[in-house]
Structure 1
Amino acid sequence: MVTMGSLLEELARREAVARQRIEEIREQIAALESRLEDEHDRLSRLAITRETVEEILGEAAELAAEPSETAPISAAGAVPVRPAVLGVVTVPPWQAGMSAAMLPRAYRDAVEIMADAGRAMRAGQIAVAMGLPDEAAKREGLRSKLKRLVERGWAREEGPGLFMVIEPVAREVSGQGDGWSRDGIAASSASSPGG
């Protein structure tokens, strides 16, 4: 016959065993969550690397296939010049008179979206406007492109993570590049008689 004392001791022992199992499972879950986070980071890096390689290969193919008449005109206005390509550099440093049309497609899309917005934007906002899925890998890949545009003088970073095209690029994209001076005054009105 089981006594009340031995029954309570057995229940206490089983409760302690259940608590120990729960703690072991929690530790396993924490370890798995850590591994899962590491794998998500690895996947994100691999996705960015793959997209970058695809972009580089695609841009190199675009440059090889482009006819020279789409290249910008040199400062002298006489001879079309292609941007100097060293290795896989496909975003040339911006210079007066350059058109966004000479940029690779992804960069050109980002420049056009920023110019249309007329304000500083975050990489996520630009990615959504480009029709990209709202994923960390896509945002990070685009952020690196935006940083490259800043490095090459096409855009500027207004604040941490806020990107905006420079004024001359915005005017060129909006179609005001030919008839507008640096201060935004129409060139024809400044030179017109009586004006």
Structure 2
Amino acid sequence: MGSLFEELEAREAAARGRVEELEAELAELSRRLELAREGLERLRITRETVTEVLAEMEPEMPVAAVDAGQPRSAERVVSAYAGAARQVIGVLTVPNWQPGMLADVLPSAYRDIVEVVADAPGPIRAKQIVPRIGLPAEAGKIEGTRSKLKRLVERGWLDEEAPGLFTPARRRTADSPNSR
């Protein structure tokens, strides 16, 4: 009978060892999974940040100052900042409105804003636009939208009738549509 108990103890010890090995593997896989999740989250945040920066980025110099011999997609704008050169490649993300130009040339965030303003029955404020473009009505989102609205006014896409009240731009030519 003593050998049966010894055999059971040996099997129990082996099973315990296997459980400990599997637990160690599980802990290692959990650690690797957490690192992968963190990497994924960093990439998501980076993509969103880059998208926001590109949507709001303005060139350091006017487009006319760029070498006209290069294609527009490869225009380079260079400026010095604190002794370091900063290179921006691209064109205005929000171009100046010109006759015949439609809102589909705008980045999606700006296009959504122009569409909401065009659909509004009258002048509209940034805090009214934010929920209509799917953003939470937080101070930061309202200020970011107000900044985009001001840029759209500067570039001729919208008018600001009174401080903070935005409307579709009154076009300079008689045959241009009032919006887009």
Q: TM-score, normalised by structure 1?
A: 0.45
Per residue, is there more helix in 1 or in 2?
A: 1
Q: TM-score, normalised by structure 2?
A: 0.49
Per residue, is there more strand in 1 or in 2?
A: 2
Q: Which has the higher contact order (CA 8 A, sep 6+)?
A: 1
